[in-house]
Each structure stands twice: as C-alpha cells, then as structure tokens.
Structure 1
Amino acid sequence: MFPGIFTNTILFSALLAWFAAQVLKVFLHLFLHGKLDLQLLFSSGGFPSSHSATVTALAFGIGKYYGWNSPIFAVAAVFAMIVMYDAAGVRRAAGKQAEVINQLVERLYQGSDPSQERLRELIGHSPLEVFGGALVGVIIGTIV
C-alpha cells in the first residue's frame, strides 16, 4: 500500500532520533537514580527532548538530501524551530502551572481524599533539554 515508506531514510532518521532520545532518558535515569524506569520510554519531558531530536533529524535529513537552500528544508527548519520553542516555552509553562495547581489542591484537601487526579507536571523542556535533543537529532541525522 505504501511501498516507499519502508525505504524512506529521512523518516527512518527522524524515528530513530525519537527512539534514541527516549532510550537515553531511561539510561540517564538509571545512571543518576539507580532505578530502571521503562515508563520513560513513553513519557514526554526530560533530557534529552525527543521532540527536538525528531524534528532536528527530520530537518537535517531533508537538508542533506534536498539541499540546504531548498524550500522543503526551509519548511522543515521552521517547523523544527516552532516545535522546539513550544517545548521550551508553552509546554514548559503548562508543566509549571500543573505543579502549582497540584500543590494548591493538596493544601486545599489536607488529609481528606480529593477525587481530583494529579495533573502531569513533566510535559515541557528546559532549554538544555531542547538543546540535548537537537544534538541527538543532528548526530542521528549525520549517521543515517
């Protein structure tokens, strides 16, 4: 049905960069905390940013294949910038707001059993996490 999808090296590079970033999160957590947490394979947030790794590998692959001055590279580069800005800006702010809301709910319901489910706090990235993800994307993009 989609015969070319399995030979698309640019797509493979982007997916591999995402996977590499997620696996790195697990190994870094194991190294720093001494605990193996496989849930990190499917979580957002943390170092390195898998979002940044994915879009950077995508843009890098397009630049290598179609040329750094091609319109499609420009689209991919702008897309990557928007995703990385969002990860370090909007999503990070939403994570901080979730943290404050969770604290407020805990204080409000001290001792009682609130039916309020905790909000996810780790949904954004620090600039260093975004940079780390972009670096993973460039490395994978260079290798593939």
Structure 2
Amino acid sequence: MYAVESIFRNEVLRTSILAWFVAQLSKMILVLIQSKRMDFSRLIGSGGMPSSHSAFVMAMCVGVGEQMGYDSAFFGACLVIGLIVMYDAAGVRRAAGKQAAVLNKIIEEIEHDELHFEERLKELLGHTPIEVLVGAILGIVIALIRM
C-alpha cells in the first residue's frame, strides 16, 4: 500500500496531472464560448487548443528541473521525451487528422454508390504549432507556480 500512497504524494506527477486537467478544461470552456454549447467530450478528447499533451510533459519537465536541478540527467531525459511528444502532436498526429478528413470526404462521396460506413474517422487528433506552444507555456507556468 505504501507504493500507491507514494504515487499520490509525488508532486511532479500531481502537477503534471493538474496541467493536463487545466488544458482539457480550457478546451471545454473555449468550445462553450465559441459554440454556446457544453461539450464534455473535450475533457478527455485529443486535439484542440491548448495541447494537453504539451502541458502535461512540460509540467513534468519543469517539475523535475525544480526538484532535481536543470542540469540533472533526469531533467534531460524528461525534456527529450517532452520534445518528442510535442513534435508528435504537431507532426504525426496532426497529419493523421488531416488524412482522416480527406478519407471522410472520399467516403461521403462514394457512400452513395455501394459502400456504407457506420462511423466517421476521428479528425481532431493533433495540434497546430501554436496549440502545442500554448500548451507548453501553460504546463511551464503551472509547474513554476506549484513547485
């Protein structure tokens, strides 16, 4: 039981989760402002402004930097992993979302003939570079305030 209790006392983990939650909540609030409707799926959905992946990993990086030192190997490893996650969010996952949009359009056009698909491919997967940057800044700020 001690291991579970230790996990919940881990300040870097708690700060990272808080940054993720604030980013996800921000997405829901932005949708509410823009479309005048509450979309609870934004609390767990990927894509959109700001990037919760970026907020999560940058809060982790800064938390580790504040606890272990910015010259520690742990901070270096966290930063490398964080940069990979952010690159993936703005690169690979964004490209996959664009491909899904094209495929959905093709499916709509040919569906009238003989094919019938039950659900559309998810298009909101990745992030624009600005969404990644805002998420990263959010994670840094939250970690600096909490640590």
TM range (shorter): over 0.9
Superposed, 1:16-35 pairs within 5 Å as 16-35=18-37
Aligned pair partner of 1:90 in 89, 92, 105:
92
Tell whether the 8 Å contact from 2:97 to 2:123 is kept in structure 1 after alignment: yes
Unaligned runs of 5+ in 1: none
RMSD: 1.3
In the TM superposition, residue 5 of structure 1 has moved relative to its aligned partner by 1.1
Residue 65 of structure 2 is matched in structure 1 by 63
Identity over the aligned pairs, expressed in percent? 47
In the TM superposition, residue 111 of structure 1 has moved relative to its aligned partner by 7.2
Letter in 1 for 2:47: G
TM superposition outliers: structure 1 runs of 4+ over 2 Å: 110-113
Aligned pair partner of 1:106 in 102, 105, 108:
108
How many pairs does the alignment contain? Answer: 144
Q: Deviation per CA, 1:69-120, whole angstroms, max 9, x where unpaired? A: 0000000000000000000000000000000000001001137771342100
Residue 74 of structure 2 is matched in structure 1 by 72
Residue 15 of structure 1 is matched in structure 2 by 17
Letter in 2 for 1:54: F
- In the alignment, the residues of structure 2 paired with residue 17 and residue 95 of structure 1 have an alpha-carbon distance, to the nearest angstrom, of 24
- In the alignment, the residues of structure 1 paired with residue 100 and residue 131 of structure 2 have an alpha-carbon distance, to the nearest angstrom, of 19
Q: Deviation per CA, 1:26-85, whole angstroms, max 9, x where unpaired? A: 111111221111111010000000000000000010001100000000000000000000
- In the alignment, the residues of structure 2 paired with residue 115 and residue 94 of structure 1 have an alpha-carbon distance, to the nearest angstrom, of 19
- In the alignment, the residues of structure 2 paired with residue 106 and residue 39 of structure 1 have an alpha-carbon distance, to the nearest angstrom, of 24
Tell whether the 8 Å contact from 2:111 to 2:117 is kept in structure 1 after alignment: no
- In the alignment, the residues of structure 2 paired with residue 121 and residue 34 of structure 1 have an alpha-carbon distance, to the nearest angstrom, of 21
- TM-score using structure 2 length: 0.94
Q: Tell me the SS of whatever aligns to 2:8.
A: helix
In the TM superposition, residue 132 of structure 1 has moved relative to its aligned partner by 1.0
- TM-score using structure 1 length: 0.96
Letter in 2 for 1:115: F
- In the alignment, the residues of structure 2 paired with residue 137 and residue 143 of structure 1 have an alpha-carbon distance, to the nearest angstrom, of 10
